[in-house]
Structure 1
């Protein structure tokens, strides 16, 4: 496992180290039975003392995420389920399955989260982050007009997530990723409706470019505003589609014929 060293200090250090370690396990895709790096190597990677790391490992062991094997070494016991998934995403899943319109609520939540992420991405993005954002933008553009709007919608999500990744804020990343996973299918279907309308596609493509340019140029305020403007436009477009769909459904309702009405 490779991770950029960082210094963790302050109260409840072991809890913060445990959270970071849990996220590292998930990000690196370690499976049950996989062994963690040696204590010295892992403490250096995380930029923490070995005593803090040992305490964090004890916490994750108590939570049944890790276990020590006889003969030495610490191993993954089960895939980690983060706090957001347990307390927010899982309880909401039945609602989204019953009514995809809840996706509009997610767009409202994304408005603040991704504006913040875009601001920090503009200030913190590494050359590798910027290359990834540009790659996702170009792939998204290349998908347009190929007759598969669902693939195009997923490429859209990858572009936005690349910007969130570039914010280097683990909490923002985890929350936004979980929101995307929560409504992946319904949002992809909704966005696929937008991409087949040339005027709407042109506007969204221009907004994506403005957002990317602001991040690549390091303009945090402009990046935040571009993200906010884009998500506001998407929400309005989707709300218009939802309203039109509802109107069409109402129009198909058959009223009782006059001779069927008792007088």
Structure 2
């Protein structure tokens, strides 16, 4: 288990044991890291992850608090980390995406019109290296949706959109735990769009295989 995951599970145990309740302020970083037997950097990553999923509320200059959600909802929010490690079905979804999305990119390279390409450029230009994890995942979903729409096949677009909606948690977790996930994703999106723009369906397909496989490979190692 990754150190960040371990830190999150330790904090979850504190909530389960009643040591932390909704509205409680977390002990200072140094004290909490020593109490949990973790490095301060690992604890910092865990806090950042739990802030993204709305379990913790980081108030600059004040401290870090457990959100006001009732314990049941807090634990449900945290359970997605455990679910991600236990649920093999998400790997099957990525395997299907790896089949469908390269075909969609190749089809988009043949069928995309200027409006489709302008929309994809706009999606890419809406984010940069300063974008947070939630913004990156929203961008990723929109980019792949734009490619699917550009195929001109509404049924294929619907299938891809439905599959993508089931991989949001995995994408968020990758964005939190993998170094430079934002930079890597943007570079890959730029390359795919360039291939689609030049009408090179074979290259667009190959780049999309590499793009989707990268997330799938990371997920396999995480599981």
Q: TM-score range by the shorter chain?
A: 0.5 to 0.7
Q: How do 1:125-140 residues align onto structure 2 when only pairs under 5 Å count?
A: 125-139=112-126
Distance 2:84 2:209 in 1: 27
Provide the residue aligned with 1:239 in structure 2.
220
Cross-structure match for 2:97: 110
Point out which structure has higher relative CO (alpha carbons under 8 A, 6+ apart).
Answer: 2
Q: Is the 8 A contact 2:124 2:186 kept in 1?
A: no
* 1:160 aligned onto 2:134: no
Q: What is the aligned counterpart of 2:206 among 225, 236, 242? A: 225
After TM superposition, give the deviation of residue 101 of structure 1 in Å: 4.5
RMSD of the alignment, in Å? 2.3
Structure 1 or 2, whichever has the larger Rg, is 1
Deviation at 1:239, TM superposition (A): 2.2
- Spell out, residue by residue over 1:41-61, the C-alpha distance to the aligned partner (whole angstroms, 9 max, x if none): xxxxxxxxxxxxxxxxxxxxx
Query: TM-score when scaled to structure 2?
Result: 0.57
Instruction: Report how far residue 191 of structure 1 moved.
Output: 3.4
Partner Cα distance (2:165, 2:184) in 1: 25
Give CA deviations for 1:187-207 in whole Å, capped at 9, x if unaligned.
34223225x612x44333322
Q: Equivalent residue for 1:189?
A: 172
1:117 deviation in Å?
0.4
Offset at 1:103?
Answer: 2.0
**1:179: how far off?**
1.0
In structure 2, C-alpha distance between the alignment counterparts of 1:116 and 1:225, rounded to whole Å = 9
**Any conservation in 2 of the 1:153–1:191 contact (CA below 8 Å)?**
no
1:93 counterpart residue number: none
Structure 2 residues without counterparts, runs of 5 or longer: 1-82
Q: Paired residues, what number? A: 141
Aligned mates of 2:150, 2:133 — CA distance in 1: 26
Distance 2:167 2:124 in 1: 21
The runs of 5 or more residues in structure 1 that have no matched partner are 1-95, 244-263
Instruction: Label 1:97 to 1:187 Cα distance change in 2 as closer, same or farther (>3 A).
Output: closer
